Amino acid sequence: MVRRIERLFDRLVFRRTLARWAALAAATPQFSLSDLRILRGRARDLRREVDRVLHRADNRLALPAIGAAALRRPIGTDWIWRPDLWTGPIPVPGQASVPGKTPVCDGATLFHDCRRSELSIRQIRNTRVEDIAPFGFRVDVFRFDGSFLSLVLDLPDEAARGLDLRHLIRLDAVVEVERPLDILARLNVKHGPNVEQIVRDLPLRAEEVMVEFDLAYTRVNEKRIEKLWIDLIFEGPEMNQVILRDVTVSRRPRAEI
């Protein structure tokens, strides 16, 4: 009974508070400038707390949950990984007029050679039912006077551990583009003083895309593999928006014949 009375009292207080602020908003043309300053300060204090509630509620209620480790694991996979950029919140979620070599977060760097940067980047929250990555990454490009734009993803040490020429490296991505453009995926394998590169086109005929890199057709010295990274290269990105909803990298040994 007490809880029911408390809930009823809370509803009455909320309705009166809401009605009071609605009336104040309607009456602002009649307020003096000094009264408006006081009212604005109180409204900002109230909005700060409301925004905190909304931010925390959105994070808890949005799908998928932050920290979710759900991954679509291809058959035969012996290693799979989703970069931090799509897994959890990053220290600086958005940047404008991005310089030519900008760390986005640990293990992800944006490169370009524009003389005047008109690029902005932002980590966004995935909320669609079909999304399994908690976050996405958006790149907005306006005027582009450079010759290249790429997002470089450093693979963790586990990707190179036990890697040999029998392996296929697979990149899966969920991509949205405002206008058609070409995106290239380039796998870089550092072995000793040399770097082997394999380039594939992302087939953007659908939102979910996949490419594979076959190490059997390379000259990689498997005994000296040190490090791997992937470049996502955006060709002709001017006046476009690209959203990478998810990116995962996996590897599997080729089936023995």
Confidence of residue 6 (pLDDT cuts 50, 70, 90): low
Confidence of residue 62 (pLDDT cuts 50, 70, 90): low
Contact assessment for residue 175 and residue 204, using Cβ atoms and an 8 Å cutoff:
yes
Domains parsed from the chain with CATH numbers:
2-61 (no CATH), 79-253 (2.60.120.260)
Residue with tokens 């300053």: 37
Higher pLDDT, 172 or 89: 172
**Per-residue pLDDT reduced to its tens digit, 38-57:** 988 888 888 888 877 876 67
For the entire predicted model, the pTM comes to 0.73
**Per-residue pLDDT reduced to its tens digit, 185-211:** 999 999 999 999 999 999 988 888 999
The crossing angle, in degrees rounded to 10, of helices 33-61 and 2-27 is 130
Which pLDDT does position 256 carry in this prediction? 63
